[in-house]
Amino acid sequence: MLAPFRWLDELAGRLGRWVLGKVDTVRQISAFTLITLGVAVTQFGRAPQVVRPLIRHHLVRSGIRLLPIIAFIGSALGLLIIGQTLRLLYQVGQEDLIGSLVVTVIVRELAPLSAALVVLARVGTSTVVELGTSRALGEVEALEALGIDPIHYLVVPRVLGITVAVFALTVYLLLFALVSGWLVSVITQVPLSLDNYLAQIAQALRWQDFPLLAIKSLTLGGVGALIACYQGLARPLRLEDVPGAAARTVSESLVAFLVLDAAFLALQLLTFS
Amino acid sequence: MKDAPVIELLHAGIAREPGAEPLLSDVSWHVLAGDFWVVTGSHGTGKSALLETMAGLRPCDGGELRWFGEPVALSLAKDSGRTALRQRVGLVFEGGGRVFSQLSVAENLALPVSYHTGCSLEEALDRTAALRTTLELDRLAAAPAGRVGRAWMQRVALGRALALAPEVLLLDNPVAGLDPSQVRWWQAFLTALSAGNAVTGGKSTTLIVTADDARPWADIGRQFAEVRARSWKVVDGSADPGLSRPAVIQARG
């Protein structure tokens, strides 16, 4: 290639390698997901006395222990978005639009995404560190030597616990946001009764919102958990590789969340049109 | 007692990882019930890789691995239909035994019992209480396994492997770095295990031990082999490298 265009050739080469690397990561995470699903189905009911307490443990850790921060974030969303917008709408005489706004912004977008991000930050990263350390110290091979499938013992309980936790936290976050939004309207003396406020939200909600919200929050939770488990467990790690794996989990999960969010937006547009 | 082999390696290559250059090639080894093998060799010669291959954790680089006459696939741990076969062979890793550092000492022993028998962890803790006592682990029972001393970690790993009452026990350099009193304890315990003790209900356990130095095992082991320069040398009945028993192991470097 001519010298002036050599940089363009190098740039295209780098870009191509980057794209191929990302495609390969998606392929490997997809394969890991299928393996995990296969183990969850084929070994369903195996060693329930060990696996069920583990699921409970991860549910408590990813769900109940995060309730205070979810309450805080939900209240903040209600205060900042519902409260402020309600006041603004009242000033321009359009307070009847609050139901549509709450459903579009909070229910369909921010609640599942915020819950998934909180769980990713608090539990996803620690999951990578735990699994990565176990992998680096050879504990995974020790499980195999005892006839214990590492996916069944280490991954399935975490994925189930985190997935259900994100769904439950989404519901709680919504409740806190709705209550705090109405409280702000009371404090700022916007003349909107609780009945009217709830009736507007109920009117803006469609029946499809309920299954879509459940599917979206479960999907975000499941994908985040699978990426964390993949980064911690699926590849040979040394102890010094563990922080890098945690950082990759955050960046890959964020990208996955945004891609899934866009996919669900498209699905909502198709469903509601 | 000594009839069919309990573990067989047939023309197997031993590599550190799939695709890597083999550390040992064309290994044929027949381990019979009741054997007490001591495999010696200097650091890095492939003793650990050999033991992990025999334990079904690494694929053979060609050749075949058989347990109790059945071919062993690498996916054995994931095959819930073959857990009974998996439980017949135990492995104790070297250097602290790779204990589950998040669990307590007692839970390390109870986990495999609870997982494979379906009993609760509390019940499994009761079932393994006698084993804990035999291994002198009672006072450490509640301690996190990752925080006990290395010598005790090695005993935890031994207890964890014995909890499933395996017929064959593979031990990778179990006394490396231990003080003389600990070494004596291991020698006495493994001698009793080979003969059949209370832990095994009086049944003899087939043992394969790897070691850097044959001397601590010279009076205890019954079959000896040496790994050196990508090849085997088999010695029989003592650590004398001049005596070979090619009928038991055949390997080419």
pLDDT tens column, B32-42: 999 999 999 88
Classify B14 as helix, strand or coil.
strand
User: Which residues of B make CB contacts under 8 Å with A?
Assistant: 52, 55, 57, 76-78, 80, 83, 86-87, 90-91, 93, 97-102, 111-112, 114-116, 118-121, 157, 160-161, 164
pLDDT in tens, chain A (273 residues): 566 788 888 899 999 999 999 999 999 999 999 999 999 999 888 899 999 999 999 999 999 999 999 999 999 999 888 888 888 888 888 878 888 888 889 999 999 999 999 999 999 999 999 999 999 999 999 999 999 999 999 999 999 999 999 999 999 999 999 999 888 888 888 788 888 889 989 998 899 889 999 999 999 999 999 999 999 988 777 888 888 899 999 999 999 999 999 999 998 888 877
Name residue, tokens 């135990």.
Answer: B90
Is A186's Cβ below 8 Å from some Cβ in B? no
pLDDT at residue B3, as a whole number: 63
Nearest chain A alpha carbon to B78? A149
Q: What is the pLDDT of residue A61?
A: 93
Secondary structure of A204-267 in HEC code, one letter for each residue: HCCCCHHHHHHHHHHHHHHHHHHHHHHHHHCCCCCHHHHHHHHHHHHHHHHHHHHHHHHHHHHH
What's the confidence (pLDDT) of residue B250?
A: 43
A137 vs B111: CB contact, 8 Å cut-off?
no
CB pairs under 8 A between A and B: 82
Write out chain B residues lying below 8 Å of A154, CB-based: none
Instruction: Please tell me the pTM assigned to this model.
Output: 0.87
Give the contacts of A227 (CB within 8 A, at least 6 positions apart).
A29, A124, A249, A252, A253, A256
pLDDT at A235: 77
Does B161 sit within 8 Å of A146, measured CB to CB?
yes
- State the smallest CA–CA distance between residue B244 and chain A in angstroms: 31
Of all residues in chain B, the one with the smallest CA distance to A151 is: B78
Distance from CA of A149 to the nearest CA of B (A): 5
Amino acid occupying residue A30: S
Q: Report the alpha-carbon distance of residue B218 to residue B216 in Å, rounded.
A: 6
pLDDT of residue A98: 87
Smallest CA-to-CA distance from B87 within B174, B189, B173, B160 is with: B160
Rounded Cα distance, A130 and A123, in Å: 10
Residue A84 is predicted with a pLDDT of 83
User: Tell me, what's the pLDDT at B192?
Assistant: 93
Nearest to A49 among B90, B112, B120 (CB): B120
How close is the nearest chain A Cα to the Cα of B102, in Å?
A: 9
CA dihedral for A207, A212, A218, A221, sign (positive or negative): negative
Nearest CA in chain B to A135: B98
Mean pLDDT by 10 residues, chain B (253 residues): 78 82 85 92 87 90 88 63 82 92 95 93 95 95 93 95 94 92 94 83 89 88 84 56 41 42
Helix ranges (DSSP H) in A43-124: 48-62, 67-77, 84-91, 98-101, 111-119
B87, B91, B115: residue with CB nearest A47? B115
Q: Could A141 and B86 be called an inter-chain contact, meaning their C-beta atoms sit closer than 8 Å?
A: no
